[in-house]
Amino acid sequence: MSEFKINFQDTETAFADKSNPELKEKFWLFKLMNSPILTEVGTKLTDVSLRLGLPVKGLIKRTVFRQFCGGETIEECQQTIEKLGASHIGTILDYSVEGKSAETVFESTKNEIVRTITRAKEDGNVPFAVFKVTGVARFEILEKVNDGKELLKGEAAEWDRSKARVNEVCTYAASINQPIFIDAEESWVQNPVDSIAEEMMEKYNREQPLIYNTIQLYRRDRLEFLKESHRKAKDGGYFLAVKLVRGAYMEKESERAEEMNYPSPIQPDKTATDKDYNQAIRYCLENVEEIAFVAGTHNEESTCALAELLHEKGIKHNHPHVFFSQLYGMSDNLSYVLAKHDYNVSKYVPYGAVKDVVPYLIRRAQENTSVVGQVSRELDLISKELKRRKSDGSLS
Judge whether 55 lies within some domain: no
pTM over cut 0.75: yes
The pLDDT of 284-305, averaged and rounded, is 97
SS (H, E, C) 337-356: HHHHCCCCEEEEEEECCHHH
At residue 91, the pLDDT reads 98
Alpha-carbon torsion 58, 371, 132, 151, what sign? negative
Comparing 13-22, 24-33, 343-352, the range with the smallest average pLDDT is: 24-33
Judge whether 259 lies within some domain: yes
Domain count, the chain: 1
At residue 1, the pLDDT reads 47
List Cβ neighbours of 99 (8 Å cut-off, separation of 6 or more). 134, 139, 359
At residue 47, the pLDDT reads 66
The DSSP string of 200-247 is HHHHH-SSS--EEEEEETTBTTHHHHHHHHHHHHHHHTS-EEEEEE--
At residue 375, the pLDDT reads 80
Q: CATH no. for residue 334?
A: 3.20.20.220
At residue 102, the pLDDT reads 87
Judge whether 191 lies within some domain: yes
C-alpha of 265 from chain center: 21
Query: Which residue from 269, 252, 290 is spatially nearest to 366, judged by alpha carbons?
Result: 252
Judge whether 44 lies within some domain: no
Judge whether 41 lies within some domain: no
Judge whether 178 lies within some domain: yes
How many residues does the structure list for the chain?
Answer: 396
User: How do residues 100-116 score in pLDDT, each as one tens digit?
Assistant: 778 999 999 999 999 99
List Cβ neighbours of 150 (8 Å cut-off, separation of 6 or more). none
Residue with the larger pLDDT of the pair 205 and 361: 205
* 177: pLDDT strictly greater than 60: yes
List Cβ neighbours of 185 (8 Å cut-off, separation of 6 or more). 132, 133, 134, 142, 193
* 226: pLDDT strictly greater than 90: yes
Cα separation of 144 and 391, whole Å? 60
Determine what percent of the chain is predicted with pLDDT higher than 70: 90
State phi, psi for 291 to the nearest 5 degrees: -125, 125
At residue 63, the pLDDT reads 82
Residue with the larger pLDDT of the pair 95 and 54: 95
Comparing 103-117, 263-277, 345-359, the range with the smallest average pLDDT is: 345-359
At residue 390, the pLDDT reads 92
* 381: pLDDT strictly greater than 90: yes
List Cβ neighbours of 66 (8 Å cut-off, separation of 6 or more). none
Alpha-carbon torsion 162, 163, 165, 170, what sign? positive
Judge whether 390 lies within some domain: no
Judge whether 28 lies within some domain: no
Determine what percent of the chain is predicted with pLDDT higher than 90: 76
At residue 367, the pLDDT reads 61
Average model confidence (pLDDT) for the chain?
Answer: 91
Show the CA angle centred on residue 176, arms to residues 167 and 356, nearest 5°.
55
Residue 328 domain boundaries: 71-377
